[in-house]
């Protein structure tokens, strides 16, 4: 079920964006009840412009690495989750490129998690000092849920990427269909039928 949902979200980035806007709007309305829904939604959309641009840029690069289509990217992500090495040489190279890109982008994951813990902790403390218990509890629960997802989900994704990198390194390189098999006289040299090297088909007298 989760795999199918992930495939749908990968194929349709706009669906991820809309769901993120709706969830953020609902959370803010629960924390600050009585506010206008359109006003809160507009604020969420405006404040997410920078993150949306960054996500679209990353998505565009990954789509190019996967062959230029959302379907191809979703298929590669499914294979990463399942631990399946692509059999096709071109898809295998695309998988290697995708894995290398994501591992490179998340190489500072530990420092990023420390920053997020400090950021959310500071927000909760400032909310407790300047707002009521409802807002403090709301931001506290939001911090716990988001940081748990970042640690658990991010760690699982990192392990899958490293496992796929190891599988790609251990997988044998496929033999091309036009590559000749080595004969008795060496690679690319036809057999001589007993008449000496390099004289195919000549019968001995």
> DSSP states of 112-129 as a string?
HHHHHHHHHHHHHHHHHH
Residue whose C-alpha is closest to residue 34's, from 145, 144, 122, 132:
132
Average pLDDT over residues 83-102: 89
Tell me the residue ranges of DSSP E strands in the chain: none
Residue whose C-alpha is closest to residue 70's, from 6, 5, 15, 13:
13
Per-residue pLDDT band at 205 (split at 50, 70, 90): very low
Per-residue pLDDT band at 182 (split at 50, 70, 90): very low
Per-residue pLDDT band at 126 (split at 50, 70, 90): very high
Q: How far apart are CA 88 and CA 126, in angstroms?
A: 54
Q: How far apart are CA 7 and CA 3, in angstroms?
A: 6
**How far are the Cα atoms of 182, 191, 193 from residue 188, in angstroms, in the given order?**
6, 10, 15
Per-residue pLDDT band at 87 (split at 50, 70, 90): confident
pLDDT of residue 178: 44
Per-residue pLDDT band at 183 (split at 50, 70, 90): very low
């Amino acid at each position: 079920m989760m795999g199918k949902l992930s495939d749908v979200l990968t194929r349709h980035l706009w669906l991820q964006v809309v769901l993120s806007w709706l969830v953020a709007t609902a959370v803010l309305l629960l924390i600050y009840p009585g506010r206008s829904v359109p006003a809160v939604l507009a604020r969420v959309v405006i404040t997410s412009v920078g993150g949306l641009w960054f996500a679209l840029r990353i998505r565009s690069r990954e789509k190019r690495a996967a062959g230029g289509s959302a379907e191809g990217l979703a298929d590669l992500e499914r294979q990463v989750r399942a631990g399946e090495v692509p059999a096709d040489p071109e898809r295998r190279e695309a998988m290697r490129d995708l894995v290398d890109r994501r591992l490179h982008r998340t190489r500072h994951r530990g420092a990023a998690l420390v920053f997020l813990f400090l950021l959310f902790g500071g927000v909760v403390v400032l909310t407790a000092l300047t707002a009521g218990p409802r807002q403090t509890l709301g931001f506290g629960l939001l911090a716990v849920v988001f940081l748990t997802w970042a640690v658990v989900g991010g760690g699982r994704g990192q392990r899958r990427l490293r496992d796929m990198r190891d599988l790609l390194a251990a997988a044998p390189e496929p033999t091309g269909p036009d590559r000749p098999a080595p004969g008795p006289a060496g690679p690319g040299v036809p057999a001589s039928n007993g008449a000496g090297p390099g004289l195919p088909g000549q019968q001995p007298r």
